[in-house]
Chains A and B, each alone.
Chain A
Amino acid sequence: MYIELLKLASPETVVVVTALVVLALGLANERTAGLCSGVAAAGLLFAVAAVLMLPQQATLFHGMLVITPLTSLFKIICLVLAFFTVILARADLSSRNRGEYLALVLLATIGLMLLVGSEELLMIFIGLELTGLSLYVMAGFDKTDVRSAEAGLKYFLFGSTASAFTLFGISFIYGMTGTTALAAIGQKLTTAPVQPLLFVGIVMTLIGFAFKIAAAPFHLWAPDTYQGAPVPSAAFIASGSKVASFVVLGKIVLVGFGPAQGSAAWHAMVAGWAPVLAALAALSILIGNLVALAQTNVRRLLAYSAVAHAGYTLLGLVAGGREGFSATLFYTTVYAFTLVGAFGVVALVRRETGGDDLKNFSGLSSRSPLLAGCMSIFMLSLAGLPPLAGFFGKFYLFSAALRAVDNNGLLWLVAIALFGSLISLYYYLMVLKVIFVDEKSSSTTQPLNPSTSADFLQEISLTVLAAVVLFLGVMPGTLVARIIAAVQ
């Protein structure tokens, strides 16, 4: 059985070993920072290869480790996101403690992979904690910056409270059903009537995930964390953690709590988790977009837009079913890649001008057309304009939501989401306006850093990300086909 475990958990094993090697390298010598990044990146690529070699279907320990095309696909996506984070980290942090930082990124990635690859509440909780703990430390990693400490502390306080709620909820569910395996819970719920106490457990479990995906009203940590944390940490929190959370949230509600879905249709609300998620979605879309209008810092703006996007993404889960889940998965993947790219641009601008306020971006198009072009692709994709991936994602999500419930019952939610996108276009365009229309302000005329190799590497990776976003917009079928095939 142990051999079996080692075989099925080989990607995780590869990442753990890489993390240990990176840690040791970092301790050995101060000057090995570059090597550490290289090893970490190579380890992640190895892990991707290991995922590809996994069998099609396998289950271990009653669903603690599940391997399906879906989990494999999202393990790869998480690994790729971690890969870009490692590249981002090359330029952003000073070489001090590089080994520890990269090790934390890798360990957080393991947490994500476990979250994605498990259908068992206990395991999911441990995955959440592993990810969470690594990310708390990553958020507070920059000790020369008070903001970073603030970010880490806020993230930690909100995160641990949310974890407590989730654990409490899970205990209720275990108490009511006598099992922690999602499939078994689903079966129990179909046979027995759903008790009110179970709803308490379900709602409490959802709270923890609402925190992870930064859905309002559990988003309060997001602005400060996105703004204060080191850029790669913020990028990873916003991308990898979010993708994995949506995958597992989808599995929990659709597989585990499926029978307790209820309905969020306008005139036919039925109690269940769907109305809860619908309320979260509506609130997130409105709050996120409206507050984002007032932001002058790009990272804060991205944080509030992240809240809004969490709302859009929840639409697919509210719709439920295979199509809704696929739409959610597609959207969150696209969003994660877009956001890593956007944070990459922010990191480079920050290095060049020393800040990430909107005014630091003014005149970027004349300073660096490539960065400006990439940023416009990312922003317009977030705004949902064709031919970028965000547009297709929104179309897919909204049409899935409208199709799921008879008689266009979710039209109210779709209308709110469209209204939110209308608002969001304004602030995304403001960013682009600063980049393309405004001339470079005189206050930021510092000498530009000479281009280094890390810079070059980052620009390549940003171009790749922009190309991915464009490609997924023009040919969305490639990813959608995989996701639909994977979601049974």
Chain B
Amino acid sequence: MVALDDPPAVAHRSSPTRRRQRSPMTWLRRGGLTTLVFFLPLLLSFAYFSWWPILRSLVLSLQQTNFIVTEWVGLANFERVLADPLLLTAVWNTTYFTLLAVAIGFPVPILLAVLIAEMRRTRGFASVLAYLPVIIPPVVSVLLWKTFYRPDEAGLFNTILGWFGLGPLPWLNDPNLVIPAIVVQATWASFGTAVIIYLATLMTIRTELYEAAEIDGASILRRFWHVTLPQMRGILLIMLLLQLIGTFQVFTEPYIMTGGGPENRSMTLLLLIYRYAFVSGDYGRATALSLLLALALSLLSAIYLWATRRWSTS
């Protein structure tokens, strides 16, 4: 969004008359150097911990290295990534996971936030409850859910199913259930943050709007549709984008719960990258796939922003 807003502003600032006044001397005299010095720690941190690694991975993707002898191989790493039959499986699994995670994980927090916002006395308590799962360290919560999903009768979910004479289901052992099962866990673990953000946005919507709608005889559903949603659209769009990018990079859950199994049915792109790097020691191929993923996500984000640009500018 920033990128779309910026160009006109930049064009304005660098108009010919203004530029002429800005010689290095005036820059110096106006304290430009001081600004730079204060800016340095930030610049340094980003350069060392973010931009340098990015640059390094660009280089690494064109090399074959054991970190002792390094060889330039051109685009061979990319060719090998694209020729890997597991790539298609991983792309499909990741896409399926993302769609399912967004289909469940996007509306649920909105509805919960709206419900919590309606509560008068218990609002604080309810938001704490909603946020609790986020506080649990990810690995702990994934391991916890792994035992919930135990495939024998002793598993939590199978015990519950047993009360109704159902199951036991194999859960993570079932090729068709494994992704939905992981999505449920991932949603449970992360929806709290979204609820809190939505709740904060809901608090900023002016009550007069609701009052006016009520006077016009709008039902709860219509008020939600015509007042709440349009007022939240900016944040909704950003959250959806963040969720898309976030879920596309799913790793911890399948890594701990299933190791990509059964039969690679939960093999995601990041898990594949991890395998390339840390199982095969093939850093070239790992960085090549990372770059392809980054490219795909940037493209996705650009298309998304372009497609929703009219809707997002209020």
A and B: bona fide binding partners: no
**A residues with CB within 8 A of B:** none
**B residues with CB within 8 A of A:** none
